Amino acid sequence: MIWKLILLALTTAVFSVVNAQVKTFPFAYTQQDLPNGLRLVTIPTDSPNLVSIYIVVQTGSRNEVEAGKSGFAHLFEHMMFRGTAKYPPEKYNQILQRAGAASNAFTSDDLTAFYTTFSKEDLPEILAMEADRFQTLKYTLENFKTETGAVLGEYNKNSSDPEEKLDEVMHDTAFDRHTYKHTTMGFLKDVQDMPNQYDYSIKFFDRYYRPEYTTIVVAGDVDPKTVRALVDKDWGNWKRGSYHPDIPVEPAQQGPRESTIDWPSPTLPLVEIAFHGPAYSDSDKDWAALDALATLAFSRNSDLYEQLVVREQKVDRLVADMPQSVDPNLFEVEARVKKAEDVSYVREQILETIKKFQDDLVPSEKLSAVKSRERYGFTMQLDNSQSVAAAVARYIALRRTPDTIDKLYALYSRLTPEDVRAAARKYLTENNRTIVTLTGPAAGGGK
């Protein structure tokens, strides 16, 4: 499964610490490193009986440095379900079934995560079984080729959605060298060539499925000592690797770029405007400032939303996002326009809005409302063990510790209107900009 950051400010889940003494992440947790480099984070919660495990590997489409290999981290997520000598896929699935487990995996730019939620009595068996596949995965050429068919099937089920195409073309246009140039799904030609890449897949496993890239997050009805003992027993002998990818640095963009997409079937036009932004940071304010700006300028209570969606009704969706990424990524604004003739107007209004944020200071009460929203948004998502583990997993990909959550939110609480304006001036410039427009035959009506 491909995991794409939804373009909603809320999902970035940052909030201010109203009282500096209050921990933003409300759970006490333990963080331990095994001698082989594997990290274990255990988070006891008060939800009875259930346990959720997230195994996070710090590799994603960002790590796909070789040409023709886009989509490989995601393919490898699939291959991890192809079994070992001790637990062939049928047995693996049967054990998960007996545990009544909900289990899945996802890949994004920066991580691959495998998660399972189940009753606590099955913890020893599931941890042992997971340890086995991370250390002794073995699949045949035939199984490899079969699984590439499932990956192509995933491409196919996504392919009727123009948003996927927009994302693909935006990254391909805006980036020249960095691996964020391709999506996690990969280019279609690379996906179609996957059946021929068996040997590379073995190399990929050897490089990245190593303890120093891996963190196990266990949340729920658990005792950290018991979990540590189980992890020592099953994961302690896993051998450390030595590979360090050489991820190309993206050179500064030298001028505005544009692309257009002709979509084959009826749809509403989409306009996306993006700028090269900063990487995630819990110490430098730029990322947090642009995250706040995305909400202030383009969310449902923004002036532009009120104008384009509520009053003029020219747009039926307006969203913006500054993704949390290991390396510098794109600040993106996207609008779905009801009539093709309004596309250039909408585009101008978005650019005008950005200019306003470069010229003027945002009222501090508006910034406070954003801080409040993020605080409640974050708290409200932590309502079960699976969500707690999931929330931590995304920060593991960035800094490999939940500590970064408190640091980020403390930083966020110190944001000022000046910080927001400074970030707008620094990043949202014409030279740094890419615009992609997608249009298809009229969807009809267009009222």
Partner 1 sequence: MKLGVAGITGIMGALLAANGSAQMRTVTLPSKSPLVNVRLVFTTGAMMDPADKPGLAHLTAAMLAGGGTKDLTYKQVVDAMFPMAASLNNQTDQEMTVFSGTTHVDNLAAYYKLVRSMLLDPGWREDDFKRIKDDTINSLRVGLRGNNDEELGKEVLYATLYRGTAYGHYSLGTISAIEKMTLDDLKLFYKQHYTQSNLILGLAGGYPADFLEQLKKDFAALPAKDATPVPAIKPEAIDHTRALIVEKNTRSVAYSLGFPIDVKRGDPDYPALLLMQSYLGPHRMSGGRLFQRIREIRGINYGDYAYIEYFPRGMFAMEPAPNLARRSQIFQIWIRPVEPPAAAFTLRLAFFELNNLVQNGIPPEDFNRTKEFLTKYVNVLTKTKNAELGYAIDSLYYGIPDYNSYIKNGIAKLTVEQVNAAIRKHLRADRIQIVAVSANAEQLKKQLEGSGPTPIEYNSAKPAEILAEDKVVEKLDLGLRPADIQIVPVAAVFE
Under 8 Å between Cβ of 195 and 64:
no
List of residues 6+ apart from 346 with CB closer than 8 A:
271, 308, 314, 315, 335, 337
Taking residue 225's Cβ as centre, other Cβ atoms within 10 Å add up to 10
- Spell out, one character per residue from 335 to 374, where the chain touches partner 1: x when CB under 8 A holds, - when not: ---x-----------------------------xx--xxx
Edge-to-edge strands, sheet with 433-439: 257-262, 433-439, 270-276, 330-337, 315-321
Min separation Cβ 127 and partner 1, Å: 17
List of residues 6+ apart from 223 with CB closer than 8 A:
44
Instruction: In whole angstroms, give the CA distance from residue 15 to residue 370.
Output: 8
Q: Does 379 bind partner 1 (CB under 8 A)?
A: yes
Q: Does 93 bind partner 1 (CB under 8 A)?
A: yes
Q: Does 430 bind partner 1 (CB under 8 A)?
A: no
Min separation Cβ 261 and partner 1, Å: 14
Q: Does 159 bind partner 1 (CB under 8 A)?
A: yes
Question: Which residues 103-132 are close enough to bind partner 1 by CB under 8 A?
Answer: 103-104, 117-119
Min separation Cβ 130 and partner 1, Å: 15
Q: Does 313 bind partner 1 (CB under 8 A)?
A: yes
Q: Does 380 bind partner 1 (CB under 8 A)?
A: yes
Q: Does 148 bind partner 1 (CB under 8 A)?
A: yes
Q: Which is nearer to partner 1, 186 or 277 (CB)?
A: 186
- For the chain, the residue count is 447
Q: Which is nearer to partner 1, 27 or 243 (CB)?
A: 27
Write the DSSP string, 56-100. Answer: EES-SGGG--STT-TTHHHHHHHHTTS--SSS-HHHHHHHHHHTT
Instruction: In whole angstroms, give the CA distance from residue 257 to residue 255.
Output: 7
Min separation Cβ 283 and partner 1, Å: 25
Which runs of E-coded beta strand occur in 210-293?
214-220, 257-262, 270-276
Tell me which of 156, 237, 260, 344 binds partner 1, using CB under 8 A. 156
Q: Which is nearer to partner 1, 286 or 291 (CB)?
A: 291
Query: In this chain, which stretch among 238-246, 263-271, 325-333, 391-399 interacts with partner 1, using CB under 8 A?
Result: 263-271
Instruction: In whole angstroms, give the CA distance from residue 434 to residue 201.
Output: 34
Query: In this chain, which stretch among 155-163, 222-230, 253-261, 426-434 interacts with partner 1, using CB under 8 A?
Result: 155-163
Query: In this chain, which stretch among 233-241, 274-282, 286-294, 296-304 interacts with partner 1, using CB under 8 A?
Result: 296-304
Under 8 Å between Cβ of 60 and 184:
yes
Tell me which of 37, 68, 124, 195 binds partner 1, using CB under 8 A. 195
Instruction: In whole angstroms, give the CA distance from residue 134 to residue 53.
Output: 14
Q: Does 310 bind partner 1 (CB under 8 A)?
A: yes
Instruction: In whole angstroms, give the CA distance from residue 348 to residue 17.
Output: 36
Question: Which residues 381-400 are close enough to bind partner 1 by CB under 8 A?
Answer: 383-387
